[in-house]
């Protein structure tokens, strides 16, 4: 019997949020869909964009919830229930202010870290026991509000770093699917920002 994996990229829907820090989860899933040659389709039933297919006897679902961040949990819980996917095979890709730009950290479980999307998913799944990939987006300077910072686009001089981070995060997710979380964490968790 094939195993099913659900990978959730968190972000906000709409063109105005494209390529913003808060949408790094969407950006990583778009790269992953390209790798697998999966096509994105709008799925109104689950209020999401879905890309899915089979790879080496594994059923892989990529999802970008189209509700706002703090309502992501309903989409994730409904999809997981419909496809009978256990929480240990639900990976949530999320932006993290507490990690520097260029850092990625996969974990088997944990709290919400103050992230509304994770909070919503924990509430709707009824468990914290699902893996997540935290992707560093850096912190604003003292003059800028956090709300404005997370909704800002990456700066021109950060683009190369962001693209590198997206590629490494995609490889880590593929490693998680094909091997296991421990191997993916050991091989890829780290800070990939340019050394000063």
Neighbours of 116 (CB within 10 A): 16
CA-based nearest residue to 4, from 72, 81, 71, 66:
81
Please check whether residue 58 is in contact with residue 3, taking contact to mean a CB–CB distance below 8 angstroms: yes
User: Angle 159-178/24-36 helices, nearest 10 degrees?
Assistant: 60
Looking at the DSSP bridge assignments, the partners of residue 58 are: 3, 55
Query: What SS3 state is found at 64?
Result: strand
Chain mean position to CA 82? 20
Which of 22, 49, 86, 115 does the annotation list as catalytic? 22
Handedness of CA 176, 181, 184, 188 (dihedral sign): positive
Alpha-carbon distances, residue 129 vs 15, 82, 108, 111, 155 (angstroms): 32, 19, 7, 9, 34
Question: Is 22 in the active site?
Answer: yes
Active site members: 22
């Amino acid at each position: 019997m094939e195993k099913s994996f659900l990978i959730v990229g968190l972000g906000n829907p709409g063109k105005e949020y494209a390529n913003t820090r808060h949408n790094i989860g969407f950006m990583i899933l778009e790269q992953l869909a390209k790798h697998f040659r999966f096509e994105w389709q709008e799925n109104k039933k689950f209020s999401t964009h879905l890309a899915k297919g089979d790879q080496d006897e594994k059923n892989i679902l990529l999802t970008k919830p189209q509700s706002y961040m703090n309502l992501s949990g309903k989409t994730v819980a409904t999809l997981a229930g419909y496809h009978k996917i256990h929480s240990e095979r639900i990976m949530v890709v999320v932006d993290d202010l507490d990690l520097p730009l260029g850092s990625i950290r996969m974990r088997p479980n944990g709290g919400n870290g103050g992230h509304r999307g994770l909070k919503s998913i924990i509430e709707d799944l009824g468990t914290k026991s699902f893996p997540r990939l935290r992707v560093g987006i850096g912190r604003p300077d003292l003059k800028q509000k956090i709300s404005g910072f997370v909704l800002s686009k990456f700066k021109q001089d950060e683009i190369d770093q962001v693209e590198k981070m997206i590629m490494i995060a995609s490889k880590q997710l593929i490693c998680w699917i094909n091997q296991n979380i421990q191997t993916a964490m050991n091989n890829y968790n780290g800070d990939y920002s340019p050394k000063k």
